[in-house]
Copies of this chain bind each other. A is one copy, B any other.
Amino acid sequence: MAALIPTHKSILDYAFYPRSVAVVGASDQPLSAGYHFLKHLLDLGFAGDIYAVNPKKDSILGVKAYPGLKNVPAEVDLVICCVSTDRVLPLLDECKLKNVKVVHLFTARLGETGRPQAVELERQIKDSADRLGINLIGPNCMGIYCPESKITFGYDMPAEPGNIGVVFQSGGAAGLLVQDGALLGLRFSKVLSYGNALQIDESDILDYLANDPKTGIIAAYFEGVRDGKKFMRSLKRAAQSKPVIAIKGGRGKSGVRAVASHTAAIAGATDIWDTAFEQAGVMQARDIDEMMDLLCLFNALPPIEGNRVGIIGGGGGKCIIAADLAEEAGLSVPPLSSQVREKLKGIVPALWDWLGNPVDFSIWGDDADKAMQVRQLISDSPDFDFLITQISDDNPLGIEWWTAIIRMAVDDIISVHKGKTKPVIAVLSSARPGYADLVNVRWRTISEQRSRLVAEKVPTFDTMADAVRALAKYVKYWERKRYNP
């Protein structure tokens, strides 16, 4: 048995770092969950012992299969349960025999159906686990992703670990966060989707992530809580120790209805949740996209100590709209100071009095060298707390020159980012090419340069509106932190 950590201090240590895993209901049918959970352990290369349980097979995906959990020839730390609801109670008794610490119940169609029989069965499952001393994750959830120990519940989830810890009541949404976030350079320490939260609940997971040295930021999605007091304690403690970004699912009438049939949670009044997040110092995101935007900032930038933004690049109209959006989001777009203007004289002698913030790059045509010098000048100025650079995709030049200028602009943004004189954020383009459009070098170039920015960990947004909304929240977070350290 390969122990990944020497001591298991918390019950969730057994979930994230089990020495052995049994997939109960393992299958060779690729439309079955028991197939995927087993395949994920093999694909990612889980280092501990893996057991398949299926009464009809001798081996599955090359793993020896046992007719029942009781037939497995060793103790088992984690059971991933993919069998139907009627087989859960007998399984729990077998778990006791094998000294199982944690059972992840992927099994669904219990409390969330709202049907009396299923609700009663769910109650019996909880009672039995309580009595037997077994800890349940779920039911009705995707469970665990921990790249460090090579456990996962989805495809296209990075094998490389990162510092984002995730506690999500919805497994599909957690999967989207990991898969889509990976494209933006986000990497994760531990992800737990906890579904109906019969035993291990959002508070337990928050406590764990708050204490986890591998987790630097927490992303959360809640539909409801069972114990409000316990939750508030855990939420405050977590937000005290690291940035917490949360989505409340079920804010409106129809969302509340949907919550009931999704995880049987009681959604609660939206203003109570707003107050709870506000009091705890938790940033609220309205959806997964906004959550990813915020995570990109926390992932790549130092704290920002003020709201004064220097906006550079883009043509006239694009700059004006950018300034409007920035102010509407609560940022400040100060004019260029006389010190900056004095230095501009040396770079663009004919334009020093005319340029402003935002710096409209179309004014001096297409001199990339001047663009670089101005970008560096704004970056060095104490008048700004951070920079937003817009790529000049409204440049009217022919495609060869256009391509060259975009590439140089991205080189330059990466170099300012690496120089760390000031936090820099890129707005690349809101063009939405389909695959068929990528034969066109314009769209392929934007797509290629996006890859480069992400690889260099420059926070990169499609639109100015998304960028300033996220930045305004980021700045506010650090401001609050200064006054409530």
With both beta carbons as reference points, the residue of chain B lying nearest to A254 in the complex is identified as B333
Which A residues between 394 and 452 are near B, CB-CB below 8 angstroms?
A: 394-402, 429-438, 440, 442-444, 447-448, 450-452
| Interface flag for A253 (CB, 8 Å) | yes
Q: Are A317 and B172 in contact (CB under 8 A)?
A: yes
Q: Mark A434-475, 1 if CB is under 8 A from B, else 0.
A: 111110101110011011101100000011110000000000
Which A residues between 321 and 336 are near B, CB-CB below 8 angstroms?
A: 321, 323-328, 333-335
**Of B257, B328, B354, B436, the contact of A335 (CB 8 Å cutoff):** B257
Known contacts A172-B396, A223-B320, A317-B173; A465/B289 CB under 8 A? yes
Q: Are B114 and A354 in contact (CB under 8 A)?
A: yes
**Bound Cα distance A309, B259 (Å):** 18
| Interface flag for A221 (CB, 8 Å) | yes
Chain B residues lying within 8 Å of A55, measured Cβ to Cβ, are: none
Q: Are B396 and A142 in contact (CB under 8 A)?
A: yes
Q: Are B320 and A255 in contact (CB under 8 A)?
A: yes
**Of B319, B395, B438, B448, the contact of A262 (CB 8 Å cutoff):** B319
Known contacts A362-B172, A366-B31, A450-B435; A442/B179 CB under 8 A? yes
Chain B residues lying within 8 Å of A429, measured Cβ to Cβ, are: 180
Q: Mark A166-204, 1 if CB is under 8 A from B, else 0.
A: 001111111110011001100000000000000000000
12 A-B pairs with C-beta separation under 8 A: A36-B396, A155-B399, A175-B396, A180-B429, A183-B433, A221-B317, A254-B335, A259-B320, A286-B325, A286-B465, A287-B325, A289-B465
With both beta carbons as reference points, the residue of chain B lying nearest to A460 in the complex is identified as B432
Q: Are B155 and A431 in contact (CB under 8 A)?
A: no
**Bound Cα distance A91, B333 (Å):** 41
| Interface flag for A263 (CB, 8 Å) | yes
Known contacts A173-B317, A254-B335; A451/B436 CB under 8 A? yes
Known contacts A259-B320, A450-B435; A327/B252 CB under 8 A? yes
Distance to closest chain B CB from A422 (angstroms) = 18
Chain B residues lying within 8 Å of A169, measured Cβ to Cβ, are: 317
Known contacts A180-B430, A249-B320, A431-B183; A254/B327 CB under 8 A? yes
Q: Are B255 and A323 in contact (CB under 8 A)?
A: yes
Residue in A395, A396, A451 with the greatest tally of chain B CB atoms within 10 Å: A396
Residue in A172, A174, A438 with the greatest tally of chain B CB atoms within 10 Å: A172
Q: Are A254 and B431 in contact (CB under 8 A)?
A: no
Q: Are B447 and A435 in contact (CB under 8 A)?
A: yes
| Interface flag for A154 (CB, 8 Å) | yes
Q: Are B258 and A430 in contact (CB under 8 A)?
A: no
| Interface flag for A247 (CB, 8 Å) | yes
**Bound Cα distance A325, B258 (Å):** 13
Q: Are A432 and B394 in contact (CB under 8 A)?
A: no
Which A residues between 228 and 249 are near B, CB-CB below 8 angstroms?
A: 247, 249
| Interface flag for A30 (CB, 8 Å) | yes
| Interface flag for A215 (CB, 8 Å) | no
**Bound Cα distance A172, B320 (Å):** 12
Known contacts A288-B430, A432-B180; A317/B255 CB under 8 A? no
Chain B residues lying within 8 Å of A153, measured Cβ to Cβ, are: 396
Chain B residues lying within 8 Å of A321, measured Cβ to Cβ, are: 173, 247, 249, 255, 286-288
- Going nearest first, the 9 A-B pairs with the smallest beta carbon separation are A170-B317, A172-B315, A434-B451, A173-B317, A252-B327, A172-B394, A254-B333, A262-B316, A435-B447
Q: Are B254 and A358 in contact (CB under 8 A)?
A: yes
Chain B residues lying within 8 Å of A31, measured Cβ to Cβ, are: 365-366, 397, 401
**Bound Cα distance A362, B175 (Å):** 13
Q: Mark A352-391, 1 if CB is under 8 A from B, else 0.
A: 0111111010100110000000000000000000000000
**Bound Cα distance A172, B252 (Å):** 40
Q: Are B36 and A323 in contact (CB under 8 A)?
A: no
| Interface flag for A113 (CB, 8 Å) | yes
| Interface flag for A156 (CB, 8 Å) | yes
| Interface flag for A393 (CB, 8 Å) | yes
| Interface flag for A251 (CB, 8 Å) | yes
Distance to closest chain B CB from A223 (angstroms) = 7
**Bound Cα distance A450, B435 (Å):** 8
Q: Are A172 and B251 in contact (CB under 8 A)?
A: no
